[in-house]
Amino acid sequence: MKAAVVVFPGSNCDRDLAVAFEQAGFDVSMVWHKDSALPEGVDIVGVPGGFSYGDYLRCGAIAAQSPICKAVIAHADRGGYAIGVCNGFQILTETGVLPGALLRNAGLKYICRTVNLKVTTSESVFTQGYNAGDVIGVPIAHHDGNFFADADTVKALQDQDRVAFTYEDNPNGSVADIAGILSENRRVLGMMPHPERAADEGHGGTDGAAVFRALAGMVTAA
């Protein structure tokens, strides 16, 4: 079971994500943004949170053009698994791997606190460790987490059961309370909340650990 975590200048959750993967049993390699290939045999790619390239132009816009992102897009196009958290979600929307975009929070404030999420679907490798309807506490830490997509896209996400998580009490203005979404083949998850920061007793909560445990189970079984 191999995971790769991409590191951009300005990433700050890369090591947290690596630890969460390791605790679930993955061998983790860190991959620098200038690399143009992922390590051989990688099962899942993690795109971490942070402020890649200082959020210049738009959050994730410059990172989306980096050499490693071409490899991440190719990995996703091949049907590979990937998870993007926070800035990683922004990057995956900027690359077009996931639909929509993340706008400035409706209240204009950076928000850093634990929020309640509803698991909207258990039909994915990321959420199969939960039951649909479960409510979990996971931290958010973002200024630009206001998910936006046009009405047709939102309807498609809902109709295809591709909304992974919704906010119980919408903190940032996201359309339809959406906190995380799945790609069409359900193998790429993007979410603003940080499951890797709720994956160890030391974090004050472990509600996010099931994401990584479930992934490990999936890859082992495959």
Partner 1 sequence: MKARVHVMLKNGVLDPQGEAVRHALGALGFDKVEGVRQGKVIDLDLAEGATEADVTAMCEKLLANTVIESYSIEMA
Positions annotated as catalytic residues are: 86, 194, 196
Q: Does 100 bind partner 1 (CB under 8 A)?
A: yes
The residue from 19, 61, 156, 176 that contacts partner 1 (CB under 8 A) is 61
The residue from 87, 93, 114, 183 that contacts partner 1 (CB under 8 A) is 93
- What is the rounded radius of gyration, in angstroms, for the C-alpha atoms of the chain? 15
The residue written with tokens 């931290």 in the block is: 139
Helix (H) or strand (E) holding 211: helix 209-221
Q: Does 49 bind partner 1 (CB under 8 A)?
A: no
Closest by CA position to 205, among listed 111, 117, 122, 88: 117
Q: Does 108 bind partner 1 (CB under 8 A)?
A: yes
Give the span between the Cα atoms of 171 and 191, in whole angstroms: 14
Nearer of residues 30 and 101 to partner 1, judged by Cβ: 101
CB of 120 to partner 1, least distance (A): 22
Beta bridge partners of 135: 118
Q: Tokens for 119?
A: 């698991």
Q: Does 106 bind partner 1 (CB under 8 A)?
A: yes
Nearer of residues 180 and 195 to partner 1, judged by Cβ: 180
Stretch that binds partner 1, among 10-18, 55-63, 69-77, 163-171 (CB under 8 A): 55-63
CB of 104 to partner 1, least distance (A): 5
First to last CA, the chain: 10
Q: Tokens for 33?
A: 């943004």
